Structure 1
Amino acid sequence: MTDPLLSPGNTVADIAAKLPGAARIFRETGISFCCGGDLSLIQAADKAGLDLADLTARLQGLIDKASRDAPLDTPALIQRIIDRYHVTHREELDFLIPLANRVEIVHGDHDEAPLGLTQALIALRDGLDVQMTAQENLLFPAILQGEVAGLAGHVRTVIDQHDEIGTILQRIEHVTHSMQLPIGACGSWTALYTGLRKLCADVVAHFYVEQSLLLPRAVAA
C-alpha cells in the first residue's frame, strides 16, 4: 500500500522535506525540489520523463526501509534519536558553520557562491537546538514515564517545528544551487557540500523517525 505522503498531488518539496532519501532520488532523476518544488509528484515525473509508478515505488521503498529499521522498543528508539541525530547534528553544525563562512568569504565573487549559507546554517542550528533541548528535557522523559496527558499539544509543537526547519532546509538547497559543486571547486567547498548533503539528509531522517514512528507510538500508548 502506498503511503499518503506519496499521493501524486503532493509537491516534491514536501516529499523531499519529509521522506529520508527522497532528495537523493530526486537529484539522481533530475527532479528539482528547490526551484521546482511546487510541482506535484505527477507533474515532476512527467517533466523529467519518468514513469510515475516506478518513481513512486522507489520512494515507497524508502518508507518501508525506515519502518523496518526502527527499533521495536520505544526507549531504544528514543536513545537512537539522541545518539544518531541530536549529538550528530550538533557536532556537524559546529564544523559546517565556520566552513561555510570561509567559503563565502573566499569565493564570494563566484557566480555559484553559496551566499547566505552561513546565516541559514546558524538558523538551522538555533532551530534544532530549541527543539532537541525541549525533547531531551521534557518530551522524551514524559514519553518514557507514560505521561500521555497533554501529549497531543507536544506533538503539534514538534510538527510545527519540523515545518519551520523544513523551510530552512529549502533555503539551504536554494543558496547552494541544489548543492551542485562548480567546476574546479576547492577542497573546502567540496567538503562543505559533502557535509551539507549528509546533514540535510540526516535532519529529514530524524524528523521522519519522530513524526512517523515515535510520536504515533507515544500517543497510542
Structure 2
Amino acid sequence: MKISQNTSIGELVKLNFKTASVFQDNNIDFCCGGDKTISEACKNAGLDPEKLIGQLELIAEQNDADSQYINGLSLEELSNYIVKRHHSYVRESIPQLQKNLEKICQVHGSHHPELFEINSLFTESSGDLTMHMQKEELMLFPFIRRLELSSKNGAALPNSPFGPVSNPISMMVAEHQQEGDRFEQISKLSENYTLPEDACTTYEITLRQLRDFENDLHRHIHLENNILFPKAIELEKNLTT
C-alpha cells in the first residue's frame, strides 16, 4: 500500500496493525481517530507528516499475519472473535483490577492521591463497558449477522428495531470515544503508567494491568470502528440498492 498524507489512519492500521505502534508513539489515536487522514492527524498533533510517513513505511514493510487473518473473516466470524477475545478479556480483567486499585488506594493513597481519581475513572469505565458490550452482543452484533446472512442468501433487508444500522453504530462509536478519553485521563494521571519510587509489588502489577487493559481496548475499538462497523454499513447499503 502506498502511504500518503491522504491515507486514512484506520485503513492503514486495518491492513497492518503493526503500524499502530507508530501512531501510539506519536500520541495519535488510531482507534477512535481512525477516520482521520495522516495529514489531519499530524496537523492536530503538530507533527511533520512526511517524517511520520517515513516511520510508517518502515513498519508497513513487515508482514502482519494477524491483520491478514482478521481481514479474511466474515462479519459473523469477526463479531464472534471480538466477543471471545476482547469482551471476555474485559470481563475477566475488571474484578482483579478493581481489587488491586482498592488495595493500592488504601496503602498508597495518602502519598499518591491521584490513585483515587484513577480508581473512580476505572470504576465508571467498568460499568459503562459492561453495558456497552451487552448492547453489542444482544442487539447490534446479531443484526449484523442477519445482514450478512441476507446478503449471502439474496434475501431482503432484515427488519431492524433501530432503523439503519448506522444508528446504533453511531452510539457505539460515541461510547468508544468516551472510554478512550477516560483511559487518556488515567494514563496522564499515572504519568503514562510510571512507577513511583515507593511502589510496592501490587502497585507495579496494577499499573501493568491498566496499561494492558488500555492496549487491549485500543485494538478492540479498532476492530469495531475501522473494520466491522464500516463493513456492516456498506453491506446494508448494498442490500437497499
> Structure 2 matches for 1:46-57, cutoff 5 A?
51-57=51-57
Contact 2:121–2:182, Cα closer than 8 Å, also in 1? yes
What residue number does 1:118 align with? 119
Deviation at 1:219, TM superposition (A): 1.4
Distance 1:107 1:216, change over 3 A: same
Aligned twin of 1:11: none
Aligned 8 A contact 1:20 1:201 in 2? no
Q: 2:54 is matched by which residue type in structure 1? A: D
TM, length-normalised to structure 2? 0.70
Corresponding residue for residue 165 of structure 1: 179
Per-residue CA deviation, residues 63-89 of structure 1 (Å, 9 max, x unaligned), is x77642414222111111001111110
DSSP-derived class of the 1:114 partner: helix
For residue 124 of structure 1, report the CA deviation from its aligned partner: 0.9
**Matched ranges for 1:119-198 at <5 A:** 119-146=120-147, 147=158, 150-198=164-212
Instruction: State the Cα deviation string for residues 43-76 of structure 1 (Å, max 9, x = none).
Output: 5557xxx9433334467679x7764241422211
Q: Give me the whole-angstrom Cα distance separating, in 2, the residues matched to 1:189 and 1:182.
A: 9
* Mapped pair 1:205 → 2:209: no
* Percent of aligned positions that are identical: 19
Question: In 2, distance between residues paired with 1:61 and 1:173?
Answer: 30
2:96 is matched by which residue type in structure 1?
F
AA at the equivalent of 2:109:
G
User: Is contact 1:104-1:114 (8 Å) kept?
Assistant: yes
What amino acid is the match of 1:5?
Answer: I
The whole-number CA distance in structure 2 between the counterparts of 1:102 and 1:83 is 29
For residues 59 and 41 of structure 1, what CA distance do their matches in structure 2 show?
Answer: 18
Residue of structure 1 in register with 2:81 after alignment: 80
Q: 1:208 to 1:174 in 2, by over 3 A?
A: same
The alpha-carbon distance between structure 1 residues 58 and 128, as it changes in their structure 2 partners (threshold 3 A), is farther
For the residue of structure 2 that corresponds to 1:115, the secondary structure is helix
Does structure 1 retain, via aligned residues, the 8 Å contact 2:22–2:55?
no
- Structure 1 distance, partners of 2:126, 2:173, is 17
Q: Which amino acid aligns with 1:220?
A: E
CA apart distance, 1:156:
0.9
* Cα gap change, 1:162 to 1:66, in 2 (>3 Å): farther
* Match in the other structure for 1:4: 8
Q: Rg: which structure is higher?
A: 2
Matched, 1:216 2:216: no
Q: 1:165 to 1:24 in 2, by over 3 A?
A: same
Q: Is the 8 A contact 1:107 1:113 kept in 2?
A: no
RMSD: 3.1
Q: Match of 2:191, SS?
A: coil
User: Which ranges of structure 2 fall in alignment gaps of 5 or more residues?
Assistant: 11-18, 30-40, 148-157, 236-241
Instruction: Give 1:111 shift.
Output: 4.8
Corresponding pairs, count: 196
For residue 116 of structure 2, give the secondary structure of its aligned residue in structure 1: coil
